[in-house]
């Protein structure tokens, strides 16, 4: 009699456990599809999307490595819509793209803007496509230092500094540059700029002396960039995809795998959009430090 009473309880327990396991499997499977960790069958063409300022390289590097390691991804198109960003992150992503290009066809498609650090990434590709009206170029380096010395003087605030060497407080917001400061920083900026030019020379197979007239920070349309050899073709994302598929031996309508989009919560998205629209401030770049491969007109 006791066993008869226990049986419905056991059946109900197993049913609840079964339902729980079923929902766990559903959530796990959906998560694999959402994050792109689910490996689908058949040859694919990967689409890496670089959007907005380049502030942090970690997410993009992970996506590049995933596309490089997946054997069913036969070619990759990098879609760039970015004004550039930090020198370090731009160089790190560029290095990973170069590693990817050694293993698989890598084609670049420029959107509205692919300037400065955005163009730096582009030269890792074997062929660059841009729209006629794409904004590109801005081959240069910028570094800004605010100076609040006069404002602080008006409100009666001053800063006393104790330092181990004359350059230790270089870039301070509480004093103006000395000539020695400016000379030191200009030398650093010139070196970082030269690194940019050397990357372009290598990627575009152009001698540095031929590049010199175009690397002073000026911007170009896609059509102008093609005339001077900074890009290869005027064309859309679809054109770049068809070209990459052909080079990889795929048909011209391949299955596409997109990189995972960056997740931004609603509050951060609202603050970014408001600051950009009404104040002209890019919150992503506001806290960026150091030299920038950045076009400020974005």
Task: Considering the candidates 13, 37, 65, 168, report the single residue annotated as catalytic.
Answer: 168
3-state SS, residue 170: coil
Can you say how many angstroms the Cα of residue 273 is from the centroid of all Cα atoms in its chain?
19
Q: What is the number of residues in the chain? A: 298
Instruction: Assess whether 82 carries a catalytic annotation.
Output: no
Catalytic residue among 116, 138, 226, 259: 116
Nearest to 248 by CA among 106, 69, 64: 106
Query: In the numeric block, which tokens belong to residue 229?
Result: 């050899």
Q: Are strands 233-234 and 127-130 parallel, antiparallel or unpaired?
A: parallel
Q: How far apart are CA 100 and CA 259, in angstroms?
A: 15
The number of beta carbons lying within 10 Å of the beta carbon of residue 208 is 13
Please give the structure tokens belonging to residue 115. 């300037």
Separation between Cα atoms, residue 298 and residue 91, nearest integer Å: 20
Active site residue 138: no
Is there a contact between 71 and 277 (Cβ–Cβ < 8 Å)? no
Active site residues: 116, 168
């Amino acid at each position: 009699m006791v066993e008869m009473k226990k049986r419905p309880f056991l059946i109900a327990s197993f049913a609840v456990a079964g339902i729980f396991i079923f929902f766990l499997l559903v959530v796990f499977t959906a998560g694999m599809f959402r994050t792109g960790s689910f490996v689908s069958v058949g040859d694919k063409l990967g689409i890496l999307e670089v959007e907005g300022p380049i502030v942090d390289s970690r997410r993009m590097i992970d996506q590049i490595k995933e596309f490089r390691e997946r054997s069913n991804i036969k070619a990759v198109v990098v879609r760039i819509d970015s004004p550039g960003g930090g020198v370090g992150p731009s160089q790190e992503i560029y290095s990973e793209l170069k590693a990817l290009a050694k293993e698989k066809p890598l084609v670049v498609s420029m959107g509205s803007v692919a300037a400065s650090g955005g163009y730096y990434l582009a030269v890792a590709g074997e062929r660059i496509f841009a729209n006629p009206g794409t904004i590109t170029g801005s081959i240069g380096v910028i570094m800004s230092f605010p100076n609040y010395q006069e404002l602080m003087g008006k409100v009666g605030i001053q800063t006393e500094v104790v330092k181990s060497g004359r350059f230790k407080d270089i870039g301070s917001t509480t004093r103006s540059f000395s000539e020695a400061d400016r000379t030191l920083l200009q030398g650093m900026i010139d070196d970082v700029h030269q690194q940019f030019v050397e990357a372009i020379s290598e990627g575009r197979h152009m001698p540095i002396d031929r590049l010199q007239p175009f690397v002073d920070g000026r911007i170009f349309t896609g059509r102008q960039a093609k005339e001077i050899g900074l890009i290869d073709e005027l064309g859309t994302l679809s054109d770049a995809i068809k070209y990459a598929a052909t080079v990889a031996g795929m048909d011209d309508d391949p299955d596409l795998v997109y990189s995972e989009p960056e997740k931004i919560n609603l509050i951060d998205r609202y603050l970014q959009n408001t600051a950009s629209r009404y104040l002209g401030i890019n919150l992503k770049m506001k806290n960026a430090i150091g030299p920038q491969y950045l076009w400020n007109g974005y």
